[in-house]
Structures are given as structure tokens and as C-alpha cells.
Amino acid sequence: METKDIQKLIDFISQSGLDEVNIETSELKLAIKRYSNAAPVAIQAQPTYVAPAPVATTAPAPAPQVASTPVAAAPVAEASNLITIKSPMIGTFYRSAGPDKPNFVDIGDDVSTGKVVCIIEAMKLFNEIESEISGKIVKVLVENATPVEFDQPLFLVEPN
């Protein structure tokens, strides 16, 4: 297959609705993939989180937003007696053992050392995360079935 033939094939695929084409002959193996518009949008969504910070620091108009940030910091100061249960691994956070099962813990529940508070799925293994402290669950910081990072806060606990 000549280079111009490959270019014609690429042009044809770009005009068609196909996202992926695989051609294999005895002389050639060719795989062409077109990325959908969803991928760049997802990539742009991450920098969007970064963009507001520089805008807030450089533009005088967002000064009220900066003023609202200390207001958000005030509850953290009030919550200084709270202890955080953090994720010991990267994975997917689940509040219950299954969709039809009750949550391990809810806001207001008392937990003791060794009580399972959630499950984190990592590489098809479901790891039960146990509380290392006794107290009352004050806040759940992660949505069910969402990815979590290592050392990411999961729960706020008011110790007994």
C-alpha cells in the first residue's frame, strides 16, 4: 500500500462516521483510530479547575470570591477537633457492599475502632476500610462510586 493510498483511506475515515478501522493483510497491518470530541472535552475539564485560581489572583473583580474563601476556611477552623479517615489506596470508593445493601456508615453514626466504614475497589479487589478511631461520623467527603486517590480524605469523625 502506497503512502498516498493510506492518506486517501485516512481522509475517507475522517469524512465517515467511523471512529476506528483495522486493516490487516499479509503485507500490512494498519490501525486507525479517531478520537471523539468527548476526549478533548474531558481533558479540558481538568484545566478548568486550575483556571479559576489564577483568574481570582490576577483580576480585581474576583476579590469577593477571595473574601468568600476565608468564609469557607472558617468551618475548617471550627472543625479542628475533627479527625479525618483517609483513603489508604487508589481506587473506587463505595459506601455499601452493593447497590441494594445499606451504607456501612451514615452521617451521625457512631463508629468504633475496626468497624468497616467503606469499600475501595482496586484492580478488581474489594478492600474493606476500617475506622482507626472511635467517634461519630460528621461528614462524608466523597460521593459513592467515585475514584479516590491515596491519602484522600473520606470521612470527618468527631472523636469520643
For 46, the domain range is 1-61
| Res 61 pLDDT > 60 | no
Would 143 be classed as within a structural domain? Answer: yes
Does 56 share its domain with 87?
A: no
Contacts 24+ apart (CB under 8 A), 24-33: 25/1, 27/1, 28/1, 30/1, 30/6
Confidence of residue 56 (pLDDT cuts 50, 70, 90): very low
| Res 96 pLDDT > 80 | yes
Confidence of residue 76 (pLDDT cuts 50, 70, 90): very low
Q: How far apart are CA 50 and CA 152, in angstroms?
A: 19
Mean pLDDT of 132-158: 95
Q: How far apart are CA 126 and CA 1, in angstroms?
A: 49
Does 82 share its domain with 149?
A: yes
- Given 11, 26, 61, which residue is the final one in a domain? 61
Task: Name the residue among 116, 113, 146 with its Cα closest to residue 129.
Answer: 116
Does 51 share its domain with 103?
A: no
- pLDDT tens-place string over residues 32-55: 766 554 444 333 333 334 444 444
| Res 81 pLDDT > 50 | yes
